[in-house]
């Protein structure tokens, strides 16, 4: 075998030939796709070769049949979960990530309160976007790693689980995700869609609702790119027999009034208790309605169950089942700093990316996956766009255990908002529905 061929004995394929095929804009065959995903997962295709193929896909794309096959090959690289033993229908939700996006926390127990099983396999944050597991792990004692048998038992008994995916679920994506992050190939819609959907399909739920964020604090900055991503993922789900729908939602402004792990847990508990910020409640209920409708269990309005306290009961049971104490005080930062308004007027804009950057700089996020986060770090927002502001009024409170971080966080925040003489036009939170 020549150097760089990475061919497996008995196969007709070489990695370099597959790279050239896509580089030149030609269609990859099913067999080529199956081979390259399996060989890369097994370590027979080198990282630099898969990097070259990923970059070729960034420029040349994948057509519909290629993308279907690529996604299926990623799914087939590992195990699939099976929830057929459950008596309830199963539905999952995925968000493409944003700032202050704590929706999974009140949403999952709310949908379970509607008589639906919610196997919510979640991830960690990277950069300015927060991760569900990081938020949940700020609850004392709560654990994210569950065996499949524990998951099934908890779904049968309580109706909901939020946990980390096991190592056997789509191992091809674990390798390719890390590679894309360091090779400038994250932005490819086919690669992004197949990464998300391979995991969601392998998780085995009957239905999936996607929350595709658009705006400065989201991965997709324009409505056009977000709509393309949403439609691509919906099509992939349906091709695999999964009932799939997507909402396009605004992420130009942070969701709610907190960005940070324990801060967002506290706000989620407010929502479960019947309070909380209006935008968090609106999106939680909208996604819950989509999820229960997708599995035909929409005979009760989730808004009523949220107000009744039924979702809070399930939240507490879920936390206890995973070793957490639902009554324990949440971690709080040792140091705080308040940023106040320097003029009268209306808060005209509040950039989600700037707030997310500030929370990240305070210690709420990580630059690399192996880094630890500060559970109490983050930003509390005292005003949202449209509110009248007075000189000296608190606008933000910064939280951290390491006060030397305040300076850089303040820089991110101070460039993220504008106060003017007129109130801005109100922006809708839910921009579109894709089916």
Task: Judge residue 127's burial from the number of C-beta atoms within 10 Å of its C-beta, 0-12 exposed, 13-18 middle, 19 or more buried.
Answer: middle
Task: Examine the residue annotation and report whether 173 is marked as an active-site residue of this protein.
Answer: yes
DSSP 44: -
The three-state secondary structure class of 218 is: coil
Q: Which of 60, 180, 257, 361 is catalytic?
A: 180
- The verdict on whether 30 is a catalytic residue reads no
CA neighbor of 364 nearest in space, from 30, 100, 32: 100
Going by their DSSP bridges, the two strands 258-259 and 378-381 should be labelled as antiparallel
d(CA 38, CA 52): 17
171: buried, middle or exposed (CB in 10 Å: 19+, 13-18, 0-12)? middle
The residue among 3, 7, 73, 80 whose CA lies nearest residue 41 is 73
Which residue is listed with tokens 């946990």?
163
Contact between 207 and 89 under an 8 Å Cβ cutoff? The reply is yes
Distances (CA, A) of 399 to 163, 195, 376, 403, 427: 27, 33, 7, 9, 28
Is-catalytic flag, 94?
yes
Q: Among 7, 195, 198, 252, which one carries the catalytic annotation?
A: 195
From the list 14, 22, 94, 102, the catalytic residue is: 94
63/84 Cα distance (integer angstroms): 33
Structure-token pair, residue 392: 């000296």
User: Do 112 and 159 contact (CB within 8 A), yes or no?
Assistant: yes
> What are the CB-based long-range contacts (under 8 Å, 24+) for 75-78?
75/170, 75/198, 75/201, 75/202, 75/240, 76/34, 76/37, 76/38, 77/37, 77/38, 77/41, 77/170, 77/171, 77/172, 77/173, 78/168, 78/169, 78/170, 78/171, 78/172, 78/202
Are β-strands 207-214 and 91-95 bridged in parallel, bridged antiparallel, or unpaired?
parallel
Residue among 173, 211, 250, 351 flagged as catalytic? 173
Active-site position among 124, 199, 200, 361: 199
Q: Would you say 130 and 101 are in contact if contact means Cβ atoms under 8 Å apart?
A: yes
CA angle at 360 for the pair 355 and 366, rounded to the nearest 5°: 150
Active-site residue flag, 102: no
Residues identified as active-site: 94, 173, 180, 195, 199
């Amino acid at each position: 075998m020549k150097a760089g061929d990475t061919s497996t004995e008995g196969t007709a394929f070489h990695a370099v030939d597959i790279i050239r095929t896509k580089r030149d804009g030609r269609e990859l065959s099913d067999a080529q796709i199956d081979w390259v995903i399996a060989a890369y997962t097994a370590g027979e295709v080198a990282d630099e070769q898969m990097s070259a193929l990923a970059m070729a896909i960034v420029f040349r794309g994948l057509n519909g049949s290629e993308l279907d096959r690529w996604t299926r090959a990623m799914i087939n690289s590992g195990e699939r979960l099976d929830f057929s033993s459950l008596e309830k229908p199963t539905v999952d939700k995925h968000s493409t990530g944003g700032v202050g996006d704590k929706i999974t926390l009140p949403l999952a127990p709310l949908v379970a309160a509607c008589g639906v099983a919610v196997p919510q396999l979640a991830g960690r944050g990277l950069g300015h976007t927060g991760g569900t597991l990081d938020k949940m792990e700020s609850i004392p004692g709560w654990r994210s790693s569950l065996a499949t048998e524990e998951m099934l038992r908890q779904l049968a008994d309580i109706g909901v689980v939020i946990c980390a995916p096991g190592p056997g679920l789509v191992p091809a994506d674990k390798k390719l995700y890390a590679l894309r992050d360091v090779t400038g190939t994250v932005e490819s819609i086919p690669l992004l869609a197949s990464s998300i959907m391979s995991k969601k399909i392998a998780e085995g739920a009957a239905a999936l609702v996607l929350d595709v964020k658009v705006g400065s604090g989201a991965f997709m900055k324009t409505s056009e790119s977000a709509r393309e991503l949403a439609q691509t993922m919906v099509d992939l789900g349906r091709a695999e027999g999964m009932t799939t729908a997507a909402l396009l939602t605004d992420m130009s402004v942070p969701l709610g009034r907190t960005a940070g792990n324990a801060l967002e847990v506290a706000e989620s508990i407010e929502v479960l208790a019947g309070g909380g910020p209006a935008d968090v409640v609106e999106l939680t209920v909208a996604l819950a309605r989509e999820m229960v409708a997708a599995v035909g269990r929409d005979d009760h309005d989730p808004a009523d169950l949220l107000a009744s306290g039924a979702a809070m009961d399930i939240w507490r049971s879920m936390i206890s089942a995973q070793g957490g104490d639902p009554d324990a005080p949440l971690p709080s930062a040792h140091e705080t700093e308040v940023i106040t308004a320097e003029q009268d007027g209306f808060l005209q804009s509040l950039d989600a990316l700037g707030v997310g950057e500030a929370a990240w700089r305070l210690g709420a996020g990580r630059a690399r996956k192996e880094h630890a986060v500060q559970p109490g770090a983050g930003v509390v927002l005292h005003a949202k766009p449209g509110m009248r502001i007075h000189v000296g009024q608190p606008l933000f409170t910064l939280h951290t255990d390491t006060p030397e971080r305040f300076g850089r966080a303040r820089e991110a925040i101070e460039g993220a908002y504008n106060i003017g003489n007129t109130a801005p036009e109100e922006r809708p939170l839910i921009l579109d529905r894709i089916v």
